[in-house]
Amino acid sequence: MSQPGTKMPDAAPVAVDLDGLIDFYQTLRPETIPDFARFYAEDAYFRDPFNEVRGLVAIERIFTHLFRQVGEPRFVVLERVVDAGGACLIWEFYYRMRLWGRGETQVMRGATHLRFAADGRVAWHRDYWDAAEELYAHLPAVGPLMRGLRRLLSA
Give the CATH number for residue 83. 3.10.450.50
Long-range contacts of range 36-40, CB-CB < 8 Å, 24 or more positions apart? 36/60, 36/63, 38/121, 39/121, 39/122, 40/121, 40/122, 40/125
**pLDDT classification of 130: cutoffs 50, 70, 90:** confident
Which residues on adjacent β-strands are paired with residue 81? 88
Domain encompassing residue 90: 18-130
Q: Domains in the chain: how many in total?
A: 1
Distance (Å, rounded) from C-alpha 140 to C-alpha 97? 11
The β-bridge relationship of strands 86-97 and 70-82 is antiparallel
Q: Is the pLDDT of residue 135 over 60?
A: no
Q: Is the pLDDT of residue 153 over 90?
A: no
139 falls within a domain: no
Least confident of 23-37, 76-90, 137-151: 137-151
Q: What is the mean pLDDT of residues 25-29?
A: 97
Distance (Å, rounded) from C-alpha 35 to C-alpha 153? 44
28 falls within a domain: yes
5 falls within a domain: no
Q: Is the pLDDT of residue 127 over 60?
A: yes
Check if the beta carbon of residue 113 is closer than 8 Å to that of residue 98: no
Q: Indicate the helix (H) or strand (E) that contains 108.
A: strand 106-116
Mean pLDDT of the chain, nearest integer: 84
80 falls within a domain: yes
113 falls within a domain: yes
135 falls within a domain: no
Listed in sequence order, the residues at least 6 apart from 11 whose beta carbon sits closer than 8 Å to its beta carbon are 83, 84, 85, 86, 115
Q: What is the pTM of this model?
A: 0.78
